[in-house]
Amino acid sequence: MFILYGSCTGKAGVQASKRVNPGTPVEHYHREYPMGDLNNDKVQDTAVVVFDMMYDPEECVDPLCKVEIRFSGTLPSFTMDMSMGAFAVKTEDLNNDSANELLLISRTWEGMWNRVYVKSFKNKKWETLAEGKIFGIDDEDFENRIVKKGPNEFILVVDEYNTETTEYVRTDKTIKTK
């Protein structure tokens, strides 16, 4: 499994980037993360996170705030819209297919709230196993967001907003993979 963190400035459904003016500094990100074996081919895979971002003001270069996730070997790449950055961490196999899964964390426009997705590479494509929201960005906390319960079951720890206390509450979301 790998954890991927991303963020973007803007609102859903709204074009999040303006045309880049000449002379506007653009930072090109290209970060590699060792992931273990994501497709059960006995070869260690690497995820490569690629995106462009401008600062002052901080915003995406691409109108949809796309982040591309590329992989070593034969794994297909994919893009995440409305995100602009990524963080990846390796974790164990969750669906008993002898390959690691993928945990993606993408920042939303709701302050410190983020979207989390668990993906698996199955039948030559990426499939979403689970999704939810998390509050805050704590790199040490990422690997604790998933707990394997059995060969075909895991828990995704998500956060829910409590309107009465105006605080977030951690909640276990049980996911069956078969």
Contact in structure between 3 and 87 (CB atoms under 8 Å): yes
Whether 19 maps to a domain, the answer reads: no
Residue 124, judged by CB atoms within 10 A of its CB (0-12, 13-18, 19+), counts as exposed
Contact in structure between 45 and 126 (CB atoms under 8 Å): no
The residue-averaged pLDDT of 129-142 equals 76
Whether 172 maps to a domain, the answer reads: yes
What is the band of 4 on the pLDDT scale with cuts at 50, 70, 90?
A: very low
Whether 98 maps to a domain, the answer reads: yes
Whether 134 maps to a domain, the answer reads: yes
Residue range 93-132, pLDDT digits in tens: 999 888 888 888 877 666 677 888 888 988 889 999 999 8
Measured distance CA(55)–CA(159) in Å, rounded: 30
> In this predicted structure, what is the pLDDT of residue 104?
80
What is the band of 52 on the pLDDT scale with cuts at 50, 70, 90?
A: confident
> In this predicted structure, what is the pLDDT of residue 112?
77
Q: Is the peptide bond before 22 cis (omega within 30 degrees of 0)?
A: no
Note the pTM of the prediction, 2 decimals. Answer: 0.77
Whether 48 maps to a domain, the answer reads: yes
Does 51 have pLDDT greater than 70?
yes
Q: What is the largest CA-CA distance in the chain?
A: 54
Look-up: residue for tokens 């297919």? 97
β-bridge pairing 3-6 and 102-107: parallel
β-bridge pairing 78-80 and 67-71: antiparallel
Residue 58, judged by CB atoms within 10 A of its CB (0-12, 13-18, 19+), counts as exposed
Residue range 12-44, pLDDT digits in tens: 333 344 456 666 788 888 889 888 888 888 899
Q: State the DSSP string of 81-135.
A: SS-------B---SSSSSS--EEEEEE-SSTTEEEEEEEEEETTEEEEEEEEEEE
> In this predicted structure, what is the pLDDT of residue 110?
66
Whether 84 maps to a domain, the answer reads: yes
Total structural domains within the chain: 1
> In this predicted structure, what is the pLDDT of residue 57?
64
Residue range 146-173, pLDDT digits in tens: 999 998 899 999 998 889 999 888 899 9
State which residues form the domain around 124: 3-14+24-176
Contact in structure between 55 and 65 (CB atoms under 8 Å): no
Sign of the C-alpha dihedral, residues 110, 50, 15, 17?
positive
Whether 116 maps to a domain, the answer reads: yes
Whether 59 maps to a domain, the answer reads: yes
